Amino acid sequence: MAKELTPRSKNYSQWYNELVVKADLAENSAVRGCMVIKPYGYAIWEKMQAELDRMFKETGHVNAYFPLFIPKSFFSKEASHVEGFAKECAVVTHYRLKNDPEGNGIIVDPDAKLEEELIVRPTSETIIWNTYKNWIQSYRDLPILCNQWANVVRWEMRTRLFLRTAEFLWQEGHTAHATEAEALEETEKMVNVYGDFAEQFMAMPVIKGAKSENERFAGALETYTIEALMQDGKALQSGTSHFLGQNFAKAFDVKFANRDGKDDYVWATSWGVSTRLMGALVMAHSDDNGLVLPPKLAPFQVVIVPIYRKDEQLAAINEKVDEIITKLKAKGITVKYDNADTKKPGWKFAEYELKGVPVRLGIGPRDIENGTVEVARRDTLEKNVVELDNIDQHVVDLLEEIQQNIYQKAVDYRTNHTTKVDTYEEFKEVLNGKGGFILAHWDGTPETEQKIKDETKATIRCIPFEGEKEEGKCIYTGNPSSQRVLFALAY
């Protein structure tokens, strides 16, 4: 088979890179660090978008759209933000090309230099808070609960499809509130929305918690995160929700008259997930045969492949398949029927396995005679011959079972790769051995975290919201600690 993948055990990173390209999810473009998201990959992203968008709207948010470009000076207004974001970015300096007078094609017109350079947004807090200034006068104008679906650009030096690209697609929520408590509640609400989405739709268990100071978003007072564990034992930060305090309101002078008629600065949050989730989805479930997609996000949940030699056999199969498709669609199942005669069934089987289609139905002349169909599930690769009569309910149940099964498999993997350690020796041993999440005591200082990172590359993924509060001693300094935190190597 031409599309064979490097096994995960041999080279996990290469397996991922090959899979993303061979399963037609994405590819590198002619522009360094920018990807092309291919139709099959984009169809998965659209499903993610649709569910997230519904969840955002159900929690009271509305969509809007803000400019792609941000004036350079805006980034200087929030001190920590500029350090975190404005450095590696795409800078627009000119607004016109012209024919080279010396005949060498087209060149940038030196007369068309912008007075102030524009930055292609790496994130939109600055331009949005500059806009909110005009929207907010009194507490009656609050809260503002806006989300934006957009592209952003961060000039990354080392890029990988979906996981780290110069341009990526995301959503960024930006909310404005009258009180600190309300903004904190929003920050927490949205990390919970992300957690629910990851677990219920991506079938990917996550640990929710707060970031340590070192790992916080540039400009945030708190960053909440969902952290997932990939099959190579590394963590992947999959979504973040930030409590921004009054930092951006102060930077852009956004005040409101509160209920007592007094002026106060507005409280802010921002939260986002990106096409990075596509990378997480691939790495969380897929195997050496290709993608394994959760039924709830698969572009099509069922593929039907006819198996025949003669044209009249195909005619009989086509007729039966029509009935099956009608029944499946009536249950809300998405189906593709691949009766193209340019490929053989074996090729198709491998192709749809590679693409992670949750359920495959194979149907041949003998099935027509017997009133049966062969049902193959992608997650376990099991095959069964099933009566056609009840095929629709069978598939409904099977899709639900697959969704549950791959979630449970990921939970089990995580359980087996989460280790409590009490000494720094043990910490390093686990990190360099089986990897995964490590629960350890930490003294709460940025300095200790930095030293551990410098020595081992591991970072604190989060201070988990859940889990027992337990007194202990920092594995590095021996200083007291009140809670274990989650360490891991991370993407």
State the nearest-atom distance from the C-beta of 489 to a second copy, in Å. Answer: 28
Residue found under tokens 């997230």: 52
Only one residue has tokens 């970015």, namely 89
Cα 469 to Cα 405: distance, rounded to the nearest angstrom: 31
- Shortest separation between residue 103's beta carbon and a second copy, angstroms: 12
Q: Which residues 325-364 are close enough to bind a second copy by CB under 8 A?
A: 342
Residue among 169 and 421 whose Cβ is closer to a second copy: 169
Give the C-alpha separation, 269 to 148, whole Å: 14
Q: Find the shortest distance in angstroms from Cβ 235 to a second copy.
A: 27
80 near a second copy, judged by CB under 8 A? no
- What is the rounded distance in angstroms from the CA atom of residue 405 to the CA atom of residue 359? 13
Applying the rule CB under 8 A, the residues between 108 and 137 that interact with a second copy are 108, 117-120, 127, 130-131, 134
User: 35 vs 438, which CB is nearer to a second copy?
Assistant: 35
Give me the residues paired with residue 437 across strands. Answer: 418
Closest CA to 36 of 159, 138, 161: 161
User: Which one of 3, 22, 38, 160 is in contact with a second copy (CB under 8 A)?
Assistant: 38
Give the contact letters, 265-294, x = binds to a second copy (CB under 8 A), - = no: ------------------------------
- Give me the least distance between CB of 340 and a second copy, in Å please: 9
The span from the first CA to the last CA of the chain, in angstroms, equals 31
- Residue 100 or residue 389: which is nearer to a second copy going by CB? 100
Contacting residue, 12, 67, 405, 422, with a second copy by CB under 8 A? 67
Task: Say if residues 154 and 136 touch (Cβ distance below 8 Å).
Answer: no
For residues 192 and 296, give the distance between their C-alpha atoms in angstroms, rounded to a whole number. 19
Three-state DSSP at 382 gives: coil
* Residue given tokens 């350890």 in the structure block: 440
Is 79 a residue that touches a second copy (CB under 8 A)?
no
Residue 95 as a binder of a second copy (CB under 8 A): the answer is: yes
Nearer to a second copy, 96 or 451 (CB): 96
Residue 4 token pair: 């064979």
CA distance 174 to 63: 10
Q: Which residues contact 307 (CB under 8 A, 6 or more apart)?
A: 345, 362, 363, 364
Show the tokens assigned to 5: 């993948």
Query: Which residue, 145 or 398, is less far from a second copy as judged by CB?
Result: 145
Nearest one of 367, 400, 368 to 384, comparing CA atoms: 367
Rule CB under 8 A: choose which of 16, 19, 20, 42 binds a second copy: 42
Q: Is 76 in the site for a second copy (CB under 8 A)?
A: yes
Interaction between residue 2 and a second copy (CB under 8 A): no
- Best CA proximity match to 145, nearest among 157, 165, 162, 128: 128
- Under rule CB under 8 A, which residues in 137-196 are in contact with a second copy? 140, 146, 150-151, 153, 155, 167, 169
Site of interaction with a second copy (CB under 8 A)? 27, 29-31, 34-39, 42-43, 45-46, 62-76, 82, 86-98, 105-106, 108, 117-120, 127, 130-131, 134, 140, 146, 150-151, 153, 155, 167, 169, 342
